[in-house]
Amino acid sequence: MISLDTTRPPVFDLTDSWVWDFWFADDGEQYHLFFLYASRALHEPERRHHRASIGHAVSQNLTSWTRVSDAVVRSDAPAFDDLATWTGSVTRRPDGRWLMFYTGVSLSQDRQPIQRIGCAISNDLETWNKLPGPLFEPDPSWYVGADEDDWHDPTLRDPWVVRDPDGVGWHMLFTARSPHGPKFGRGVIGHATSPDLTAWTLRPAITEPSETGFGQLEVPQTEVVDGRSVLLFSCNPFHASAAHAGARAGSWTAPAESTVGGFALDRANPITPQGLYSARLVRRREGDQWLMFAFRDETAEAPFRGGIMGPFAVRWDGDVLVAE
């Protein structure tokens, strides 16, 4: 049973725009929130996806946020991100500069959306300059990079970049779908590696499709919480296999052997109810405390509202990470 207070106001929202997926960076003095947003003048929330830009807000305490200049917006055509810019993550290079890995969306010649991953660089987390992209193209033997006949959209997005636990090189985990397996179990964690955060080599997926799996594992994040590795991802019941339909969950956690692999999806557990999506963990410097945030998604009972909820404290309950 998930017990979260979802009735309180969002910790961050905009009156003129919908706010949904988001991610954090910590420069040691301020917390930085990067978020997807699109104008409410579109009227229909589903239209927001192809109008998304990456906004930016800052905070001293993770609860009071001040919006600042946007971080990344779509490029002029032709470009891999000339339709919209979607979810990503921020990593600091050894030289102190910041890299934002993000999803770029464009249209193919037959007007079908294509998702690919790019990068922007910043000295201060405020002014970002895009690097040439995309970083790689999907290998069709490993990943579906275009529309499938039996799925609602192409799936290669949401990069999460983490240092190798041994300190040599970097790993990128991303949302992907295998070209093989059951419709609602083909979601996998995609994988790429780099020695320097510049040149990336695409690898086979870290996880396998499964009859009891998920149709997509969105916004993946890995962390070490109180000495234990964990994978965080999101998938609504209508995109999951029948094994999870009764959970009525939005975001999930799974035990992990490390931050870059050994993900036990067969032992996944809900961490948010349906209606709270794209859950993210962030560590508050004061008290060295892990917190969770999520955005307000639509449900069968309520239309899409957007806005970021939190913070929720997290703790281990046996082998399961829970939020409260």
Give the tokens for residue 249. Answer: 């969950």
- Contact predicate 24/88, CB 8 Å: no
Mean pLDDT of the chain: 94
* Span 33-50, pLDDT tens digits: 999 999 999 999 999 999
Architecture of domain 17-323: 5 Propeller (2.115)
Give the pLDDT band (50/70/90) at residue 4.
confident
Query: Tokens 């106001």 belong to which residue?
Result: 9
Task: Identify the pLDDT of residue 197.
Answer: 98
| Number of neighbours of residue 310 by Cβ within 10 angstroms | 23
For the segment 84-102, the average pLDDT, to the nearest whole number, is 98
Which residues partner with 57 through β-bridges?
A: 33, 67
Give the tokens for residue 57. Answer: 């807000």
For the segment 217-226, the average pLDDT, to the nearest whole number, is 98
In three-state secondary structure terms, 214 is: strand
* Span 168-207, pLDDT tens digits: 899 999 999 999 999 999 999 999 999 999 999 999 999 9
3-state helix, strand, coil in the chain (%, to 5): 10, 50, 45
For the segment 113-117, the average pLDDT, to the nearest whole number, is 94
Q: Where are the domains of the chain?
A: 17-323
- Contact predicate 142/129, CB 8 Å: no
User: Cα(155)–Cα(140) distance, rounded to whole angstroms?
Assistant: 12
Which helix (H) or strand (E) segment holds residue 78: the answer is none
User: Looking at 19-23, 27-31, 134-138, which range is the least confident one?
Assistant: 134-138
Give the pLDDT band (50/70/90) at residue 147.
low
User: Cα(87)–Cα(54) distance, rounded to whole angstroms?
Assistant: 8
The CA dihedral of 44, 14, 39, 35, to the nearest 10 degrees, is -100
Percent of the chain past pLDDT 70, that is, above it, reads: 98
| Number of neighbours of residue 11 by Cβ within 10 angstroms | 17
Is pLDDT at 146 greater than 70 in this prediction? no
Task: Identify the pLDDT of residue 210.
Answer: 96
